[in-house]
Amino acid sequence: MSSKSSARGSATEKKSAKDFSKSPIRASKEVLDRICGRAHYLTTQMIWLANNREKDKGDPKIGGHPAACASSLHITGALHLIVKSGFDYIANKPHAAPVDHSYNYLLKLMLKNAATSGTHDFASHGPDFLGQDLSRLSQDDMDKAMEGLRKFSKDGEPVFQSYHSAYDSDHHGFLPSGTVGIPPVNAGYLAHAYRFAKDHGYDVPDAHFWSIIGDSEFREGSLHEAIPDFAERELGNLTWIVDYNRQSLDGHRITNKEIMNGTDDKRIERTLLANGWDVIQVQHGHKRLELFKRAGGEVFKNFLENGLQDYELQSLLLVKDMASLRKGLMKSHPDLKSFLSGITDQELYWGLRDLGGHDIITMANAMLQSKENPRKPTMIIAHTLKGWGLENAAASGNHSSLPDQDEVDALRRAQNLSFDQGGKLADGRYFEGFDSKTEEGKYLALRGDELYSDIKSQYALRDKNWKSFQDRMQKNGEIPVAMGISLKMAQYPHTQWMLGQLTAKLTRIANAAPDAAKPEELPWRVPSELFVTMAPDVGTSTNLNPAMDGKIFGAAVTTDIETELGVKDRKLPDLVPGEENSDRFIRFEIAESNVMSCVGSYGKIREFIGIPILPLMTVYDFFIKRAHDQFFYNLYWKSSFICVGTPAGVTLSPEGAQHGWKSDFQIPNQITWEPFFCQELDWIMSESIRRHMTGDNAGRTGVIIRGVTRGAEQKAFLQNLKRQLRFKSDRSRLLHATGFEMPGAVDEAQVESLSEEEMFEVVRQDVLAGAYYLVDYRGYAGYEPGDNVVNIFALGSLTTEALKASDALLRRGIFANVIVVTSTDLLLGVQAHENDYSLLKERLQLNANLHLVPAAYTNGQGNGHGAVELAMVAGRRVPCVSVHDGEPGLMDNIGSALGVRQEALAVRKHSKCGRPNEIYAYHHLDSESIVEACGKVLSETALEQVQIAPHVLAALQQQPEAAQVEKVDWRTLWPERPSDTH
Ligand SMILES: Cc1ncc(C[n+]2csc(CCOP(=O)(O)OP(=O)(O)O)c2C)c(N)n1
């Protein structure tokens, strides 16, 4: 029963001191330091410029973080100048973005990146991430970008966002940043996704994944949630680096050394070691190492490593007068006397300041060492100085402090730039790299070209992979509109059950022998092979068993001991992990944030290396909000993924009353779905898969699907569609509902309807457009908009209540149409706003027309006497009621989008246990509440009165009868200003 050994070798493989004779360190420390010095100036200058730009009174501050940039100057330098390849990815702390830009400026790695007409023949049908222009920016444009930090790009000129962003011309190989604590986790799951893709035989470049993390950032829980996970998954291709400068935004970090058994770097070290990581401390630079060799040097070393509190070191760094520093130290630490007597003031100065994180060679060696063990991630603790090289070095509160012009000028003069002769700037220039003839220039050109060549290779590989998957899919036939799950035998199935059916089918197709595949299943072959599922310990309870059973992808750490002992329960999924090709389920502990980051990172593989892996996570909907920040990040990053929140809302009341508040978000690039019938889910999933696989999902790559565990009578779908006039073969007849005879009308049941296939094809398109009529009384005798018509919008499970309410209202002579909303985003969200609510207004043909009926005449004083001056009519629009299991804001703007009276029934209080019918009543979402709300809006709209002056009436009477009001675009009444056109 020994553990299986991994393909990646032994976990205990030592990161031994390496022979660096073939080291990638190909420039001297002096040359590298001079390059770092230039990057330091460029960084500080660009932040200064950003803050000294024209602005309006009252504008918010611009800011920037020169001190935090300086602190990571040599860490990032080691990556850019020595260690990283152009295939690697880096998640750097957000506020250090200007340093990355500065190195990329020196390496000339700013690329156009704009989507162009395409350098390949499939761009016209491909996704928006293909066809980038990879040519390098001109020197002029690079200078503009450097001058444009935090500036709005008016005419498309290159600028830089405040933090790493896909809008930057040097974004290749960088994860976007802004929220601390999230990108390093994405870097880890990206490392895992590459591992997965490689293990499944896809063409993936060798890449390493790096993160630079602030020491205060390292208290973020999101990081600690991921730490054990990354170790257990054996991510030898991941290195995290803590920029340990002992300061945060507010000032010096004051930790509890006594209780925590040492300074915070020791706690970090112990935490990571306890969680299976390798740890490398980079505490001292070369100068310190030399000092340690002097008499008493060991005592000094011990003092630095164990004697000092972090806060004490920070305070000592602020003492400028070396004589008093020496005196004070001798007094407080008498054991240092002999060492201190043997060193100069200058040596004392450096003795405190020569921190390892600013020694580019030491840093590079640590990074190279971190790549050695293929089975363990590594944490490097890089000791640094916040504000290195700046006057505000180590000063508490230096996080946002900005150097003044004199300081920046001094930094520039120290660089001897060609345009800065005699302290005067020529041609308004601020930036310059190294002359190509200098050692620095030559090295930067060599290194920049190498990285550029890697970047181009990666894009070429991406395009090649993408094309080969598209070709394979085309050969197998177009992805069908449905997976064709039979519902005939299922008793009251629910959408969560349906999810299980769909994922089980994909799993079966993915793993069937190629020759055993049924021809109609062939188009699903590629998507199913690329379909990866994952869940935070709710895989079985969200019906993913077949996708899990014997298919857990993970380090092969154990044999199947239950089987060996003969105690395996075959009814439960086999959870022993492995790295077989059929292993495609990523199992997690209860760690929603990890899974959300993982689904986001897997969802980027399509864009990074052209392999359209489609990740799907399930999660109890309530807990999506625990990973809200990660979810937002995925959407900002334009990751392409599916997140199924199931079960959702107060509908899960008997099981989880405390989990009843659904996670309703409206974020750009998100599309939410909430199917009611199982068939809808099949269409939605099939469509989402097709869009992802073919890259046809720009602006909606983050898919959220809500499922429930409340069963529904599936027959009701067709039964209700059949009653609609639009689905009758003879549409010239006036209909009445069975049991509601009307003169001149025929019982709808007597008029034949179209075939199931024909009806479903129309409704499928409606479902995918975001809403459809389930009950539609248009074409029924007595249907009088403005008198007896109301529209009920129902989302998900509450459709049952809407149907009951509609029946009850019909008995009272009210025609209540039931419109089932499948996607609130398409009906009312960002996507709907983009097309001016065309789903509501055009597809569903809803409007705010005022239907007039005569009312009492009055003389204008309201007493009914005297000369008749005004005509009174009652004006009525068709009002609506919405009902959904979620926050009111999700659907309460239908009325304002349409211009009609609306009553929104939604969840407005914390929930309780109970059966759905009790709970719906408790929240006023039940059928009776819907009837009541319909009554309210119908009555209120009936009270609307319109006063028409008799001369207007007379004028109206003279209008030709056929005159119709043309549909007018609002722009004709409110013409565009010239500036709006930009
Ligand atoms: C989640 C989140 N909270 C707060 C911030 C604002 N913020 C940016 S940097 C920073 C302090 C960072 O300190 P540290 O991690 O020690 O890095 P340093 O700047 O000292 O290198 C804070 C609070 C943020 N960007 N993200």
Give the pLDDT confidence of 72-81 residue by residue, as tens digits: 999 999 999 9
pLDDT digits (tens, 9 = 90+) for 145-201: 999 999 999 988 999 999 999 999 999 999 999 999 999 999 999 999 999 999 999
Distance (angstroms) between ligand 1 centre and the Cα of 246 equals 12
Distance (angstroms) between ligand 1 centre and the Cα of 95 equals 8
Atom of ligand 1 nearest to the CA of 180: 26
Per-residue buried b or exposed e for 739-754, using 16+ beta carbons within 10 Å of the residue's own CB:
ebeeeebeebeebebb
- The pLDDT score that the predictor gives to residue 106 is 98
- Rounded to an integer, the average pLDDT of 751-775 is 98
pLDDT digits (tens, 9 = 90+) for 212-241: 999 999 999 999 999 999 999 999 999 999
Inter-residue long-range contacts of 517-521, CB under 8 Å, 24+ positions, other chains counted: 520/480, 520/484
Distance (angstroms) between ligand 1 centre and the Cα of 163 equals 12
Measured distance CA(623)–CA(616) in Å, rounded: 16
Contact 249 CB / ligand 1 (< 6 Å):
yes
Contact 651 CB / ligand 1 (< 6 Å):
no
Residue to mutate (ligand 1; options 72, 75, 95; most atoms within 8 A of CB): 95
pTM comes to 0.94
Whose structure tokens read 């703007």? 893
Atom of ligand 1 nearest to the CA of 65: 19
Atom of ligand 1 nearest to the CA of 181: 1
pLDDT digits (tens, 9 = 90+) for 407-464: 999 999 999 999 998 778 888 899 999 999 999 999 999 999 999 999 999 999 999 9
Distance (angstroms) between ligand 1 centre and the Cα of 248 equals 7
Contact 216 CB / ligand 1 (< 6 Å):
yes
Distance (angstroms) between ligand 1 centre and the Cα of 857 equals 70
- The pLDDT score that the predictor gives to residue 869 is 62
Contact 164 CB / ligand 1 (< 6 Å):
no
559, 575 Cβ separation under 8 angstroms: no
- The pLDDT score that the predictor gives to residue 124 is 44
Contact 401 CB / ligand 1 (< 6 Å):
no
Contact 389 CB / ligand 1 (< 6 Å):
no
- The pLDDT score that the predictor gives to residue 659 is 87
Asked if pLDDT for residue 120 goes beyond 90, the answer is no
Name the band, by pLDDT with cuts 50, 70 and 90, for residue 126: low
Q: Report the half-sphere exposure of 46 (CA within 13 A, side-chain side).
A: 32
Distance (angstroms) between ligand 1 centre and the Cα of 523 equals 48
Distance of alpha carbon 554 from the chain centroid: 24
- Rounded to an integer, the average pLDDT of 916-941 is 95
Distance (angstroms) between ligand 1 centre and the Cα of 64 equals 12
109, 63 Cβ separation under 8 angstroms: no
Instruction: With H, G, I as helix, E, B as strand and everything else as coil, classify residue 194.
Output: helix
84: phi then psi, degrees, rounded to nearest 5: -75, 155
Measured distance CA(855)–CA(948) in Å, rounded: 11
- Of the candidates 816, 771, 820, the one whose C-alpha atom is nearest the C-alpha of residue 799 is 820
Q: Which residue has the higher pLDDT, 733 or 857?
A: 733
Measured distance CA(661)–CA(663) in Å, rounded: 7
Q: Which residue has the higher pLDDT, 67 or 952?
A: 67
Q: 148 in the Ramachandran plot: left (φ > 0), alpha (ψ -120 to 50) or beta?
A: alpha
Give the contacts of 9 (CB within 8 A, at least 6 positions apart): 374, 375
Atom of ligand 1 nearest to the CA of 214: 15
- Rounded to an integer, the average pLDDT of 718-722 is 98
- The pLDDT score that the predictor gives to residue 7 is 55
Measured distance CA(877)–CA(964) in Å, rounded: 18
- Rounded to an integer, the average pLDDT of 246-268 is 97
818, 774 Cβ separation under 8 angstroms: yes
669, 663 Cβ separation under 8 angstroms: no
- Rounded to an integer, the average pLDDT of 736-758 is 96
Distance of alpha carbon 419 from the chain centroid: 44
- Of the candidates 507, 501, 508, 499, the one whose C-alpha atom is nearest the C-alpha of residue 486 is 501
